Amino acid sequence: MIRRLSAAQFVSSIVDLFGDATVPVAPVFNDPLVLGFSTDATALVVQGLNADQLMTNAEAVASWAVANHLAEITGCASSDPACAGSFIRSFGRRAFRQTLSDDDVAAYQTLLAGESVFSDGVALVIAAMLQSPRFLYRSELGAAAGTPSPGAPVELTPYEVASSLSYLLTGRAPDAGLLSAADAVAGGTLAMRDMIDQQSDRLLADPRSQATLMDFMTNWLGLDRLYTAVKDDSVFTLGSSLRDAMAEETRRLILDTFAADGSFSALLTADHSFLNAELATYYGFDASGLGSDFVRVPYPGARMRDGGILAHAGVLTGYARADVSSPTQRGHLVRTRLLCQNIDPPPAVLDTTFKPVSNPTTTRAHYEASHSVGGCATCHRLMDKIGFGFEHYDAFGRWRDSEGPYPIDATGTVVQANATDGDVPFDGLAALETYLAGNADVKRCMVRYWSFYAYGSSSWSQDACTYAAIRDEAAPVGFGLRSTLKAILHAPHFTRRVQTQ
């Protein structure tokens, strides 16, 4: 398949071409979301309106480039064939993420030679390359050596694999080191698996890889809801500093767990977190000795809140209503994103307005009364009964033992958890996290979403062998986050395809 660079990858690829973050890149693409991710290959295409925007952007970038970096880009200053060819080969290799053929070089030399001024010719070549499908799209087609018959395996080129590796791990185009490794694979002096292992270890040591890891986790778990959820300031004013601290807590725990090759189960059952003074105080912890920096803090023995990522204020705040908690939203998170179980949307004609009750008691009682009858009951029992286990936390992730004069009831049930477990009762969020941490469905679900993020394809049933290969490699090491990502890189789908037509 081929897939367009995402909006972020488009920008980072142009910035890296010139090594200058001031390059005037226009916002050309608006990536559609599929399953919460902007990675679906069938959705990442160039639309008609984009073509004009791409031309305008490419010409503006090219003019800026020759005005600010002409000598660095070309290494020479004349239109003679040797100078032009050297520039085209060098710039084109980085732009197209592979070595250009002699025919490609000749075509661009003709384009450059058509301008009487050397800098104008360079600008024309740059503008043309930035509009080329070979820059805008990542190809995963294999070498063009004949047409394989349907069902035949197709090996991807080293350069295609290098691009996939770099964009997945750093969100950027392959650098010189990775392209050189692809050269070695193409030349037969390095095995493809060795390139993947050596270069992935190098790229994962790059701090930029943290951003792509968090991009996956954010889209999978909906962590950005912390910033998009509307909150009622009359209940509590959630300032930007505290909101940022909530986000940073979750980021620090995920990155620390990944670095140690801890599993998602470890995230669910963590007995510690990363706090600064502001967030520790918000949680009711002893903040003495803490400042603005985040440090690892063990949770105190007193029942002030539960451990694990689902008890982070950032998650709880994002999955809540403006003024009260939401068992539905929190249960939906567990059911759809952790267990990969689909919940059908409500019928278009159904009134989903959450109406006040005449004698309000607890949020739980309100939900039980509103969602236990009529057309809502069938789906809501799959979500709400899980979400009730979160009820020790209000709409802002604050621990509570009571809601007004009424004590909190945080007992819940994972209704029809799976064919083996059936209905699973639990009491409180810690018990729910413990169950999920040992649930094989959660591990399979993480593999499915991470594979979709990596491969750009959600063909669950057709690619069962791919997911099985990933699980088989990750299972012996406890589905460590780093090990699971490496298993995705080792799966057959990362380096080969099957001809379908």
Express each pLDDT in 1-55 by its tens digit.
889 999 999 999 999 999 999 999 999 999 999 999 999 999 999 988 888 999 9
pLDDT on residue 79:
74
CB 424 within 8 A of CB 386: no
Domain termination site, one of 414, 437, 460? 437
What's the one-letter identity of residue 140?
E
Q: Which of 219, 276, 246, 218 is nearest to 396 (CA)?
A: 246
pLDDT on residue 465:
85
pLDDT on residue 501:
59
Domain identity same for 233 and 121: no
Helices 158-170 & 192-204 angle (0-180, nearest 10): 20
* 3-state secondary structure (DSSP) of residue 467: helix
CB 490 within 8 A of CB 193: yes
Domain identity same for 266 and 396: yes
| Residue 457 counted as domain residue | no
The CA–CA distances, whole Å, from 122 to 7, 95, 105, 159, 287 equal 25, 14, 13, 25, 59
| Residue 192 counted as domain residue | no
Q: Please report the sign of the dihedral spanned by the C-alpha atoms of residue 358, residue 359, residue 364, residue 370.
A: negative
Domain termination site, one of 118, 139, 160? 139
| First-to-final CA distance of the chain | 12
Domain identity same for 132 and 244: no
Domain that holds residue 62: 2-139
The whole-angstrom separation of Cα 253 and Cα 476 is: 23
CB 170 within 8 A of CB 208: yes
Domain identity same for 229 and 107: no
| Residue 427 counted as domain residue | yes
Domain identity same for 370 and 245: yes
| Residue 488 counted as domain residue | no
Average pLDDT of the residues in 68-88? 89
Burial class (CB in 10 A: 0-12, 13-18, 19+), 351: exposed
Q: Which residue has the tokens 């994962």?
A: 204
Domain identity same for 120 and 228: no
Domain identity same for 289 and 386: yes
pLDDT on residue 148:
65
pLDDT in tens, 241-294: 999 999 999 999 999 999 999 999 999 999 999 999 999 999 999 999 999 999
Domain termination site, one of 84, 115, 139? 139
| Residue 175 counted as domain residue | no
DSSP code at position 337: I
The whole-angstrom separation of Cα 110 and Cα 4 is: 27
Domain identity same for 134 and 222: no
pLDDT in tens, 336-370: 999 999 998 877 777 777 677 777 789 999 999 88
CB 56 within 8 A of CB 25: no
Q: Total structural domains in the chain? A: 2
Compute the mean pLDDT over every residue in the chain, rounded to the nearest whole number.
Answer: 93
Domain identity same for 305 and 429: yes
The whole-angstrom separation of Cα 105 and Cα 272 is: 57
Contacts of 165 (CB under 8 A, 6+ apart): 174, 178, 196, 199, 200, 203, 489
| Residue 108 counted as domain residue | yes
pLDDT in tens, 393-448: 999 999 999 999 999 999 999 999 999 999 999 999 999 999 999 999 999 999 99
| Residue 151 counted as domain residue | no
| Residue 243 counted as domain residue | yes
pLDDT on residue 285:
92
pLDDT on residue 68:
95
